[in-house]
Amino acid sequence: MLLGDSEGNKYDPFVVFNVRPSTKPENQVENIQRRKGFGIHIWKSIRKAQAETGMQIHGNGKGWWDAKLTLEWLKHHFGSRENLKQPVLLLLDDFSGHWTTEVVEYAKVINVTLMKVPANATSVSQPADATWNGPVKTRLQNTWIRCLQEQLAARVPGVPFKLKPPDRALLCQWVWAAWRDVSASTIRAGFRQCGLVQHDEDVSDVPEQVEALNADEDVFQAMLHSDLIDTTVEPFTLEDDFDDLFRAIARADE
């Protein structure tokens, strides 16, 4: 989950991964309370990724955002700010996990006014959808394509080969880099494009355009020229939504 403000500032992303809950209830409670949902083994790499990127990384059984994460997100970004008396207007979409009684009441306590973006109107009413999310997802997709291309290029003829997905730690680096490269101008442009701040004629904030690599064609051609169109490579598509990809990926890392 990404957060930016009308002045172009960006804040620590929150990432949630799909992890298998412990079969022992007492261990699962400890995982949630002490390691953000991760087991001891996985937590070592997650903690390192957090330290290196500043991101907040969580795990649960579905890899989905929920009300508990919304509360953690509010506490992290707004609950400890220096001046709690200064009001904050926060736009959120109509996802149910953003609007539980507990979330709404906590927002009031920390002087954050929640405003619901109308369903099916996020592209014109929510700055993130208007100008940020597109470049971030395109950068992530391009990184994923380059990863596949590098693996294909490094293949040794005659040696059994299978494309390897990135693990969680590497995915965190990808997310951090994609968000880092979004310009302050793009963040500000989202608010202006949605009519949420007064337009200043002296300020020209143009949202950036990130060119997407030709995913399927590039990778397919590389595989074709490398004689990889056979049973050693499982079918895959690069058109899947990247949120779904991130939730499903890296189970082998558990």
DSSP letter for 212, please.
P
Is residue 131 within 8 Å of 98, Cβ to Cβ? no
Q: The tokens of 245 are what? A: 């990809």
As a whole number of angstroms, the distance between CA 211 and CA 138 comes to: 7
The confidence band for 239, taking pLDDT boundaries of 50, 70 and 90, is very low
As a whole number of angstroms, the distance between CA 247 and CA 214 comes to: 23
As a whole number of angstroms, the distance between CA 190 and CA 133 comes to: 10
- Whether 180 has a pLDDT exceeding 80, the answer reads yes
As a whole number of angstroms, the distance between CA 133 and CA 195 comes to: 18
- Whether 229 has a pLDDT exceeding 60, the answer reads no
Mean pLDDT of 2-24: 94
pLDDT, tens only, 89-108: 999 999 999 999 999 999 99
* Single-letter amino acid, residue 129: D
Percentage of the chain with pLDDT > 70? 80
